[in-house]
Chains A and B, each alone.
Chain A
Amino acid sequence: MLFILLKESVLFAWQSLTSNKLRSFLSLLGITIGIFAIILVFTIVDSLENNIRGSIQTLGNNVVYIQKWPWTFGPDYPWWKYMNRPTPQYYELDDLQRKCKSTEAFAYRMGARKTIKYKSNSIQNAVVAGISHDFYKIKNFDLTAGRYFTQSETDAGYRVALIGANIAQGLFLNEDPIGKEIKIAGQKASVIGVLKKEGESLLGNSFDYQVITPFNFARIMMDTRSENADPIIYAKARPNVTNAEMMDELTGALRSIRKLKPAAEPDFALNETSLLSKGFDQLFDIIGTAGWIIGGFSILVGGFGIANIMFVSVRERTNLIGIQKSLGAKNLFILVQFLSESVMLSCVGGFFGLLLTYIITMLGKGAVDMEITLTGTNVVLGFTISILIGIISGFIPAYSASQLDPVEAIRSN
């Protein structure tokens, strides 16, 4: 019985929508724009969040970064205290390795932007990183060709390099880079490995545009004491050792290496990836809230549009309602008939809104090298919002139609 009622109502609603095409189009435009705005914002925020969280994940949860500047956010950032701190140095690595028992591995990295040349091909502003040997224990990276440095190569500062996928593509095109000689800021180096393509990272830590060399070779090309080289010492915790335990030990070891007095403030920062996550959580909350306010009120306006058109629809078909009621149609039938028209109108609007969002995400994929995906959750959310807005905006017109007196309704023009 309910199914027949619904089927009849939907058919009536469909007839009404198709008989007034322009009016239907204009009224669903509000919902289309509203759903498009809100789902597009959610899609972009979700995609950005996935990308950044993925990038943070690659930094390692059990890795602590010893740096000059702490990864804290907000207005109360006492930068004047931090700017006079010394940068981490390569020689501190040996002392740390000797003093710390809770760490599985330490690594040092510094980098600078240099020009890379191979024959007549060149890439400007490529990131050249100088690393200590155990860097591979901290950062997971796969090689598509070649091999990693040997211990003697890193210790002696051999002129060898690992190159990122985009550097390999840009310099060598279809040639095999292994064994070829490139020039890094005028210094000759032999390519011994090519890194697997990682894709764009919003944190800028992708290896695709990087050239990795042993630290003792890289120090020829860059100033190791310069802050511009962004020197970092990485410390990776042993299994079953928490970051907090390791950081306690690192604090003690660094204070002793730098000969800090007991009352003196530390002149180093121990950064964890959880600090970054917290910072980005705040950012995404702000973006999400902005999207919610813009989209929420667009949908509300769209809902008013549908309510308005439903009132017009009821007024136009008043005598038809009277005839239906005099022939035995129940109040519930009239109510469901108009309510389904409103929900259908809203759902069609929502569908076009989602379609528009999908098209934009497809175009966006081509424009930016980042995965932008309209997720199933957002599609379900879009349709749910459409149904709810259809019910809310159509209920009063539908209910007032169902309460009409049949005689009065038939008499009306």
Chain B
Amino acid sequence: MKRPKIISFICILGYITVLISFPQVFSPSIKKLGIFMPAIYGILAAANFIACVGLWYFKQWGVQLYILSFFSKTLFVVLTQQYTYSFYFGEFISFIFIVILLRFYPKMSQNL
């Protein structure tokens, strides 16, 4: 099945987000949180990127990884108590995207 336009939009938005958020891995604010925090934040950014690649190829594992990275990021923010307006906005948008992705989930390819 051809990839729906809304999924292409989610993927492009995801790529842009990763592009902007990846340099934040080295930001002093993340480094201050702890020694391993830049690495954890980087893994989350990489997982989000890979999930977007999976969605671009219309694969089910893309949705699974997207949901996993969403919850992991939420947990990271809750544990480090780094609540910002952009975090709440991001959570809201991601939640809407997850609902959309789950609607298309049965039509997606199960293969790697």
Contacts and interface: CB of A to CB of B under 8 A. Distances in A.
Contact of A293 (B18, B23, B39, B111): B23
A45 to B, nearest CB: 8
A292 B57 contact: no
A292 B50 CA distance: 24
A44 to B, nearest CB: 13
Interface in B1-36: 18-19, 22-28, 31, 35
B57 A395 contact: no
Given A292-B23, A381-B38, A399-B57, A331 B112 contact: yes
A288 B28 contact: yes
A299 B45 CA distance: 15
A285 B23 contact: no
B43 interface: yes
Contacts, number: 68
Contacts of A392: 18, 22, 45-46, 49
Contacts of A377: 35
A402 B49 CA distance: 17
A281 to B, nearest CB: 10
Nearest to B111: A331
Contacts of B111: 331
A200 B28 CA distance: 26
14 contacts: A284-B28, A289-B27, A289-B28, A292-B28, A296-B22, A296-B24, A300-B23, A335-B112, A381-B26, A385-B25, A385-B38, A388-B22, A392-B45, A396-B53
Interface of B: 18-19, 22-28, 31, 35, 38-39, 42-43, 45-46, 49-50, 53, 57, 111-112
Interface of A: 38, 42, 284-285, 288-289, 292-293, 295-297, 299-300, 331-332, 335, 377, 380-381, 384-385, 388, 391-392, 395-396, 399, 402-403
